[in-house]
Chains A and B, each alone.
Chain A
Amino acid sequence: MGRAAAAKRGRREERLGVGLTANGSTDRIIRFCAVFVALQVATQALYYGLFLNSRPFQVYLHLVAASAAAVLRLLGRGVTCEFDMLHGGFDMSIRSGCDGLQAMAIFASAVVAYPASWTRRTQGLLAGVASLLGINIVRIATLFLVGAEWPQHFESAHVQVWPALLILCAVLLWAAWASRATSSPQTA
């Protein structure tokens, strides 16, 4: 962003009396958080209101289950996939909340809210969402292995460990992207 545009935005914010820190600089963190929260509310409303019981969601769950089954077969497990169920010594169903979509929404909201060029944002969204998709398939495969081999640890791995890891992955991916976007000459 050019100096003139930045100065103009600063003057506008000063006139509106918003977005200023105690030392007079624009408080971008507050703005980032506000945009992030707005996008999160919108994506969550779409997820729970429209997407959750839709046909595309069922297809998506099947694709995730089939991908996880393929990974497990590569590891030598005799796993079959039936719609959103994995069978083979342990039965596991993939449901809402286990789909990885919310981690992707968190990442996407953070990328869109961050002050970078749209080119950088698009690149970040494609790479980050693809990465999180892959991480979620690894998550499901490892949960299946834990359930089959150490069933007493399944709930803690499912409810405590992997949600934290998935969010950590989303935050790290965003930090890595934002770091590149900030140091790039394309930065807005």
Chain B
Amino acid sequence: MGFARDFFSSDGLTVLPRRLLARLIAIAVVAFAVLMLAGPWLFYPPVYRATGQTLFSSFGGDRIVRFEPVPGGGGLHDTRIEIGLRAGGRDEIASGMPVNSVREGYVPIAVVVALCAGLFFVRRPRLSPVLIAIAATEGFVILRLWVALVYGFSRVGVGDHYLLELSAPLRPVVSLANAILGTDLHGTYVVPILIWAMTCLRASNLPADGQVDPAPGLARSESSPATPATETPKERLRRV
């Protein structure tokens, strides 16, 4: 049966046997649960607000953005993003969007960290793709925030002008991007999984057998037999 029984095979997509995949998913689920039970709503919202304020305090022209805590907290939304204009030395807030910072920022990072932890326990990945995955996920969090701000500025008006005037063809694009990235909950989970797959899971980012010892607790025979000296890279990929 050989590689045909492996979930991860060169004829399929991936590079881990089925049993290791099950272990990876189980460890990732436990790691994610631990990260969520660590109480992120206690420590993460201030981090989110400080980062957002640093990156987006000015949004071009006189546009301003403020990240404020929701009074009372503890509810669904812990942060209020206020947008407005600076006019005559005064900040005038035109509108505000309530945000659940844990869901928007912490959960995607927790997903990718949990998957990397799962991968570490079944087959040690190289460090650089793991760091790239975490950085790319942070980039996704910043991107969705930027899209939400562009959408917000383009929907709020002062007088007969919007705070951000978008061209007619761009308006539905921004609206759709905001719906997919900002409103939809599933992107919070799916995008980090994709980023992890493209960085950590790529065959080229997993050490070939013989280069790195398997993860602690894994019997060598479970992973694969020793690599023959004459094996080509493609044959090695098939067998992994």
Chain B at the A interface: mostly helix, strand, loop or mixed? helix
Closest-by-CB residue of B relative to A32 is B13
Separation of A37 and B9 alpha carbons in the complex (Å): 22
A159 touches B185 (CB 8 A): yes
Separation of A151 and B45 alpha carbons in the complex (Å): 24
Separation of A48 and B59 alpha carbons in the complex (Å): 27
Separation of A39 and B161 alpha carbons in the complex (Å): 36
Q: With A30-B198, A159-B100, A163-B188 given, is the CB distance from A22 to B13 under 8 Å? A: no
Separation of A21 and B25 alpha carbons in the complex (Å): 25
Interface size, A (range):
35 or more
Does A54 lie at the interface of the complex (its beta carbon under 8 Å from any beta carbon of B)? no
Chain A at the B interface: mostly helix, strand, loop or mixed? helix
List B contacts of A28 (CB < 8 A).
12-13
Separation of A163 and B193 alpha carbons in the complex (Å): 14
List which A166-188 residues lie within 8 A (CB) of chain B: 167-168, 171-172, 175, 178-179, 181-183, 187
**What 0/1 pattern do residues 100 to 120 of A give for CB contact below 8 A with B?**
001100100000001100000
List which A40-75 residues lie within 8 A (CB) of chain B: 40-41, 44-45, 48-49
Interface size, B (range):
35 or more
**What 0/1 pattern do residues 206 to 240 of B give for CB contact below 8 A with A?**
00100000000000000000000000011011000
Closest-by-CB residue of A relative to B185 is A163
List B contacts of A130 (CB < 8 A).
none
**What 0/1 pattern do residues 4 to 34 of A give for CB contact below 8 A with B?**
0000000000000000011111011110110
Separation of A44 and B176 alpha carbons in the complex (Å): 8
Does B11 lie at the interface of the complex (its beta carbon under 8 Å from any beta carbon of A)? yes
List which B157-179 residues lie within 8 A (CB) of chain A: 172, 176, 179
Closest-by-CB residue of B relative to A155 is B76
Q: With A160-B103, A163-B189 given, is the CB distance from A25 to B237 under 8 Å? A: yes
List A contacts of B179 (CB < 8 A).
44, 48
List A contacts of B75 (CB < 8 A).
155
B7 touches A178 (CB 8 A): yes
A139 to chain B, nearest CB (A): 13
Q: With A23-B234, A36-B194, A115-B13 given, is the CB distance from A175 to B202 under 8 Å? A: no
B184 touches A102 (CB 8 A): yes
B36 touches A115 (CB 8 A): no
A37 touches B184 (CB 8 A): no
B198 touches A49 (CB 8 A): no
A187 touches B186 (CB 8 A): no
Closest-by-CB residue of A relative to B172 is A49
List which B89-145 residues lie within 8 A (CB) of chain A: 100, 102-103, 107
A29 touches B13 (CB 8 A): yes
Q: With A44-B176, A172-B25, A182-B9 given, is the CB distance from A25 to B186 under 8 Å? A: no
B188 touches A24 (CB 8 A): no
Separation of A160 and B9 alpha carbons in the complex (Å): 34
Does A127 lie at the interface of the complex (its beta carbon under 8 Å from any beta carbon of B)? no
Q: List 8 A-B contacts (CB under 8 A).
A: A25-B10, A25-B233, A29-B197, A29-B203, A44-B180, A163-B189, A179-B7, A182-B12
**For the complex of A and B, 4 pairs with smallest distance between CB atoms:** A23-B233, A182-B12, A21-B204, A167-B189
| 19 extra interface residue pairs, beta carbon distance < 8 Å, beyond A25-B10, A25-B237 | A21-B204, A22-B204, A23-B233, A23-B237, A24-B234, A25-B203, A25-B233, A27-B204, A33-B197, A36-B194, A49-B176, A159-B100, A160-B107, A163-B189, A182-B7, A182-B11, A183-B1, A183-B5, A187-B11
B-side interface residues toward A, CB under 8 Å?
1, 4-7, 9-14, 18, 21, 25, 29, 32, 36, 75-76, 100, 102-103, 107, 172, 176, 179-180, 183-186, 188-190, 193-194, 197-198, 201-204, 208, 233-234, 236-237
A-side interface residues toward B, CB under 8 Å?
1, 21-25, 27-30, 32-33, 36-37, 40-41, 44-45, 48-49, 97, 102-103, 106, 114-115, 155, 159-160, 163-164, 167-168, 171-172, 175, 178-179, 181-183, 187
